[in-house]
Amino acid sequence: MTEEPVAPACPVAWGEAGKPLVNNGKEFPMKLSARNVLKGKVVSVEKGATTAHVKIEIANGQTVTSSITNESVEALGLQVGSDAYAVIKSSDVIIAVD
């Protein structure tokens, strides 16, 4: 399906593969194949033994949670209050019911 996605009510970059993404007028310094980039603020970082759950608020009350390594949390300098981007690359959406 080649239908263009509908932009939600939060800042999202709709780019084309191989072209720089733009979000709120700011061009990203790298090219990404991912078409969805959501800017937000880190609202929690919960570290486990090897993996952390990082929650980013992208709009009033809307959050995105990602599981990343503790090493990545440190390398990116993530902490509550940090600006961050959720970059979403998805080729499949799976729906299940009981």
Domain boundaries, the chain: 39-88
Residue 75 DSSP class: H
Strands of the 51-59 sheet, one edge to the other: 62-69, 51-59, 36-47, 83-88
pLDDT tens per residue across span 70-90: 999 999 999 999 999 888 877
Q: Specify the pTM.
A: 0.65
Burial of 5 by CB count in 10 Å (0-12 exposed, 13-18 middle, 19+ buried)?
exposed
> Residues 12-69: pLDDT tens digits?
444 455 455 555 556 666 677 777 888 899 999 999 999 999 999 998 899 999 999 9
CATH class of domain segment(s) 39-88? mainly beta
